[in-house]
Structure 1
């Protein structure tokens, strides 16, 4: 929930710094050539260090991560362990056989002879209505010292025989090779190609700027080891789902819902995800994500009716979340004695090391320590750096192209009322590691990637890159354009640096290429724009049959209002409005001004306050964003 006192102070500060801009702005009496955002004058010189991207069509400011307006939100945290003791059990692998061991040294000596442990398997159950949310945990069978795993996912419990009390419970995931996986590997090894693997490691809701602030050790490691950042990487949709689906399918959100409708059982199985393309070409595939209730393909969605990848860790994560949980900021930070985020990193490490010499495509995503809190990631800094150092030491980087990224910055809370917060939400961090073998084999393609660090880029470009990797790997694969962005191209392809948000299929509401100037909130055009936005919200509620459950909104107060600066190549005028409504919700919208009191919505409407408590009366994710229950 928002802090009302802090909110009021923020509003006062925001209003006090607004610069008076008369309505003559729109008659060009207020603007002369020097105040136009970009001009065509050949003698104009820009200081590029001030910009992440600086072209005639796109100019993204390079803000200080420790801007004064942001420092009040910055509170670094220390790592919090979920267990005071070492784990009582651990798993080893030898010759494709996984074994669980009891580590009696993890408990006081007086207890060692009085411990009894049992192991149960965790499997996906055959639930026709909720196949992706249902698991079966078998009967728990006793074992002593160690025993061989008969399933990849297990739950273990230990009791004190004297008191009959449970003293330990945990889950483990082991990666062993089935006959089908061995056949894939054999088929790929006998081919004439030498394919590159792909590894995605994603952390939800971390902007480029907050990455520098909250994960300084990780940032330093990436910079020192020449991982390539895409500093102008701009999201194309509101939350995780559209941005990930743009990477995986090349679709925008509306096309995704038409073709892959996640609200309909079985449709995601038919969706043309890139991991299916890799799978068909004998790549070993894997996917894991924590916080199962809100995971990318399952939050208010049906998920998959059958495992979408060769190694699908959702049953393991569901089983882990049945352990004793410690919640932080609404997320299951601890699942038993281990943080949920570390479970994902450990799976990613095990998978990538197990298949480091095999063609693989894997996607690992963590939400629990970043989704709801700006500062919580700072406690995981050392853990994330250790993970990257470990996979590098084990040779994973020798054959694997790694995308280390986020989907967007933090989307809620008072930081979003600031100009820096607006920019941060739209510019997630992303770093790419390319094997030395790739650099030697494809020097031109690698140089093209290096040039992209200061270009405007999007998730659609990653989609095109994933296709290009298959071609460069020498496989029989034909690239196809991105449906959502026909002009987008692979990061390894040579492209023009002069690119607009229109070229990159980024809607004006998400576009960071243009500047905005403050406008007085009393400006009549701003007032009209706010009323227009409220009308658009009401239309969306009615369209989803929510009017009987959701309260009717009216404009309360305008928190900030800005007007777009001008590009030389177009003359559109946009208003960016952040407002509080009655009943109390906070919305942000970008509207195209068409003269007088005429407006057009350009992209989505953002909800900036935490609204879970106020939207429990409706189930649909889209409607929740607009609803304030009566």
Structure 2
């Protein structure tokens, strides 16, 4: 072939890639632009009315009606539709309507994958006119002695195996990707992703199922459903059908549940290991490369107790445990493998050979949450059919983590229907359910209200006990009801799982023996949700740092109060001292929030200062203590950012996560 012909082929290839990508953008209705515009408009719509005045504007009457009213904790009972929040509400729209942008031809029924003849016909196709095949997706594991940051993302595909029948049974394969094309045109027009919880996927699951054949009294399943960034109030505000369903089940809402760390990682560390995020990093000697395998996650004890274990998140690039994660699959059933495949194929060929889509709103015709819950249902069915106890946790990131806190409206029917279906099938008869979040909305206009200040700190948590347990152990339900109006924290979640094992599976080593001689002892071991809590608990008693404590009433300050400016300048000075030299020094551009916390029973006052920085216009909230007796500010402040990062501002950090919240790169 001549050099000229090579040149022509190169330009044809470039043109093909470009036109394919433009077609992709058209088919997706410019999804990314659409989402950004909606979030930006939602934010800008409220900025003038909120940020020019004190966003911590306090009506003292809010403390007349309290959710938690104990000696050291007073948490106000805001209405979900408080007037300060109503202007920020709107009807949510699909970023991508998955059912409209993709055919809906296949579905899972037990361990069968079926083609829907009606759906095919409605779309103008007959099964006999299609070439359909399936690929299995499996995880590729690196060695513990030789791994890199891609360990959690390595997968492989089988050859595409022809599907000649409308129903195909899968006895061993877990993760299935189906492709269909017209017989005369070998271009994929349908791609479906299906997980199947296989009972004998490994020797571990086979041994566990075999073990329980000789036992009549099984411990309960533990089912955890999680939505990122969802406060108790926003759950009530935007998912009313799910709230109604979970109330009808008889679940208890834990109204004093308070976050103990800033991000999802901190919440997950505490809930699943009993350690704070910083303590876990020290305990496991973690690096940016990942390798959480040695860490003492609760599923290790559950594995020893012969529980089947599962963990699922829907956004591989927004993983709670960072990009490195686990070198070896951490649990028996791990949905990340299939989500990795879905992200591989989110962009059309040949674009997907060069670019992997980070955010994926649809997995074929399903939403991410459809897939999460379909897999959870498959796991519960397995546990039910094989009479083996199951621990399964699913955590939804994509829609809840959006800056538009209204988007979870779109998940309401999905979760309500799932709970109804699990009740009807009897899967909840022997299952303890936790429906929870890690924290509330941390960014955006909702956060810049008094209600949002509290909501950030008070994530959603409901706990359901099946009737059999309530009848046999009424003290557990009584404790839940009493504790629902007490101060609680993620540490109690961890110790509650341990309590379940101690209570219902006494053959396993009890907690006091397991945790007796640890090099870094766990803290706050004496409290869990299922035993009545003391009424004099403070945030420090349950592992909640002062900056996240919602227990102490606020008193509004005028924005021209000189102490506010002094406190703000001191907080930024402390922050500037920590930032790399490549970041510009931050100054107080404007003070737009001010209040003090009268710490109950302590000789200090905490100042809360809302700052708009110069440069960068970051919205920052700083907490700094003022010691009344010596009339001096503390030399340590606690700082949070309340608006999203502009990635252009932090390009000089080259991916360093430690400082990106507060950095504005210099020229």
Structure 2 length normalisation: TM-score?
0.83
Distance (Å, rounded) in 2 between the aligned partners of 1:599 and 1:74: 39
CA RMSD of aligned residues (A): 2.6
What does residue 628 of structure 1 align with? 664
Q: Is 1:611 matched with 2:639? A: no
Q: Is 1:362 matched with 2:404? A: no
* Structure with greater helix share of residues: 2
Which of these residues, 311, 317, 320, is aligned with residue 296 of structure 1?
A: 320
In structure 2, the CA distance between the partners of 1:334 and 1:5, relative to structure 1 (3 Å rule), is closer
Which of these residues, 416, 422, 426, is aligned with residue 453 of structure 2?
A: 422
What does residue 258 of structure 1 align with? 282
Distance (Å, rounded) in 2 between the aligned partners of 1:576 and 1:111: 63
Distance (Å, rounded) in 2 between the aligned partners of 1:627 and 1:135: 35
What does residue 51 of structure 1 align with? 66
Q: How much has 1:518 moved relative to structure 2? A: 1.4
Q: Is 1:106 matched with 2:106? A: no
In structure 2, stretches of 5+ residues that fail to align are 1-38, 349-356
What does residue 22 of structure 1 align with? none
Q: Deviations over 1:589-615 (max 9, x none)?
A: 21111354522436x421111105233
Q: Deviations over 1:439-458 (max 9, x none)?
A: 12222232112211100000
Distance (Å, rounded) in 2 between the aligned partners of 1:410 and 1:15: 15
Q: How much has 1:515 moved relative to structure 2? A: 1.2
Q: Deviations over 1:278-318 (max 9, x none)?
A: 011111001110011001112xx410000100011111111
Distance (Å, rounded) in 2 between the aligned partners of 1:5 and 1:294: 28
Q: Is 1:141 matched with 2:161? A: yes
SS in 2 for 1:622: coil
Distance (Å, rounded) in 2 between the aligned partners of 1:183 and 1:491: 32
Distance (Å, rounded) in 2 between the aligned partners of 1:285 and 1:155: 23
In structure 2, the CA distance between the partners of 1:16 and 1:189, relative to structure 1 (3 Å rule), is closer
Q: Is 1:173 matched with 2:195? A: yes
Do the aligned residues in 2 keep the contact of 1:488 with 1:504 (CA within 8 Å)?
A: no
Q: Is 1:348 matched with 2:348? A: no
Q: How much has 1:148 moved relative to structure 2? A: 4.0
Distance (Å, rounded) in 1 between the aligned partners of 2:525 and 2:406: 37
What does residue 322 of structure 1 align with? 344
Deviates more, 1:383-392 or 1:439-448: 439-448
Q: Deviations over 1:202-225 (max 9, x none)?
A: 011110110111001111122233
Q: How much has 1:488 moved relative to structure 2? A: 4.3
Deviates more, 1:277-286 or 1:71-80: 71-80
In structure 2, the CA distance between the partners of 1:61 and 1:267, relative to structure 1 (3 Å rule), is same
Which of these residues, 565, 581, 584, is aligned with residue 547 of structure 1?
A: 581
Q: Deviations over 1:144-191 (max 9, x none)?
A: 224443521121111122343321112111111115323212213424
Do the aligned residues in 1 keep the contact of 2:155 with 2:341 (CA within 8 Å)?
A: yes
Matches within 5 A, 1:11-90: 11-14=51-54, 50-77=65-92, 81-84=97-100, 87-90=104-107
Distance (Å, rounded) in 1 between the aligned partners of 2:392 and 2:311: 6
Q: How much has 1:260 moved relative to structure 2? A: 3.0
Distance (Å, rounded) in 1 between the aligned partners of 2:99 and 2:340: 20
Do the aligned residues in 1 keep the contact of 2:151 with 2:327 (CA within 8 Å)?
A: yes
Distance (Å, rounded) in 1 between the aligned partners of 2:417 and 2:45: 40
Distance (Å, rounded) in 2 between the aligned partners of 1:261 and 1:293: 22
Residue-pair matches, total: 590
What does residue 156 of structure 1 align with? 178
Distance (Å, rounded) in 2 between the aligned partners of 1:311 and 1:462: 22
SS in 2 for 1:383: helix
In structure 2, the CA distance between the partners of 1:11 and 1:484, relative to structure 1 (3 Å rule), is farther
Deviates more, 1:445-454 or 1:262-271: 262-271
SS in 2 for 1:620: coil
In structure 1, stretches of 5+ residues that fail to align are 20-34, 38-45
In structure 2, the CA distance between the partners of 1:67 and 1:261, relative to structure 1 (3 Å rule), is farther
Deviates more, 1:6-15 or 1:268-277: 6-15
In structure 2, the CA distance between the partners of 1:67 and 1:5, relative to structure 1 (3 Å rule), is closer
SS in 1 for 2:547: coil
Q: How much has 1:552 moved relative to structure 2? A: 2.2
Q: How much has 1:369 moved relative to structure 2? A: 1.2
What does residue 550 of structure 2 align with? 512
SS in 1 for 2:159: coil
Q: Is 1:495 matched with 2:533? A: yes
Matches within 5 A, 1:477-496: 477-480=509-512, 483=521, 485-486=523-524, 488-496=526-534
What does residue 225 of structure 2 align with? 201
Which of these residues, 125, 130, 138, is aligned with residue 123 of structure 1?
A: 138
